[in-house]
Amino acid sequence: LGIFHRHARTREARLQVEIARLAYLAPRLRESGGGGDRVRGGVGGKGAGESSLELDRRRIRDRIAELRRELATIEGTSQTRRGRRSELPTVALVGYTNAGKSSWMRALTGSEIYVADKLFATLDTTVRVLTPRTEPPILVSDTVGFIKKLPHDLVASFRSTLEEATEADLVIHVVDASDVAHPEHMRVTREVLGELGADQTAWIVFNKIDKVDDDGRASLALELPDALQLSAKVPDDVARLHERIVAFFLGELEDAELLVPWDRHRVVHEIHERCRVLSEAHEEDGTRVTVRAASSILAGLRAQLA
């Protein structure tokens, strides 16, 4: 809890940590001295026959309820943002804490997000665009790291943060190949994902492969033949993963021809923002555009043009 508290950067993360801290504290409260005496009651303080311990626990319950209401408001806003992004292809980076997810995030998106060799350096989900950019853009999210015996209250508190992984089209499970405990780390990550209900396509990336000798690499290949052995610090490896991600989503895109009437020409701007334009020609009835995009985006555009 202390580690989580130190690395919480947004209001949402701080609320999640505080709820988990109070939920941990409540059942562990003890009476101090003669504080167990019961009182007859009062206004705004102790209820009739309520001990100091019961009062403290009630205050904690009330505070948790207050924090959860505030968190629900923030999560509603986050859900709205996720809803707007849901039409775009999304990749979620998951894995045991300190596996190198944030390093991959920076390598794949060019973003200068916080990267550190620490436990839980990332608590809040960060979403960036894959670069070099594609049309439509591919979003990449970096989630909180997992850890063995993560308290259930923390999993529950961070559920909204971790849901980025459940809603992604592709999950990339980053594993620190240089850590001898990586099989256990993989098991823990899979357990948490299972608890969240994440069941979509998942790739295994053995990260930090530059720290593993030839025998170790051969052993990893036997362990998981389909896993990628890469390092976020090697440019060729970054390009290799980028190409695989793009190829994965290009297979899910489709080509379409759209005729945009002159009176709805504003849609052409949206097409250029959200699709890869293959050709464009001005005709008597409007602009005819051939595009490549996700089927959900095409459905939305067709609805506007109907």
Q: How far apart are CA 179 and CA 244, in angstroms?
A: 25
At residue 39, what are phi and psi to the nearest 5 degrees?
-115, 160
185 CB-near residues (< 8 Å, 6+ apart): 95, 96, 99, 146, 148, 175, 176, 179
Q: What is the pLDDT of residue 147?
A: 66
CA atoms within 13 A on the CB side of 169: 19
Domain ranges for the chain: 2-82, 88-250, 254-305
pLDDT tens digits, 128-179: 888 877 777 888 988 766 666 666 566 655 665 566 677 888 999 999 999 9
Cis omega (within 30 of 0) on the bond before 151?
no
CATH topology of domain 88-250: Rossmann fold (3.40.50)
CA distance 192 to 189: 5
Give the pLDDT score at 118.
Answer: 46
pLDDT digit string (tens) for 110-137? 876 444 444 444 445 678 888 877 777 8
Considering the four listed CATH numbers 3.40.1350, 3.30.70, 3.30.420, 1.10.3470, the one that applies to the domain covering 254-305 is 3.30.70
Least confident of 53-57, 252-256, 260-264, 297-301: 252-256
For 63-81, how does the pLDDT look when each residue is reduced to its tens digit (9 = 90+)?
999 988 888 887 666 555 5
Decide if 244 contacts 104 (C-beta within 8 A).
no
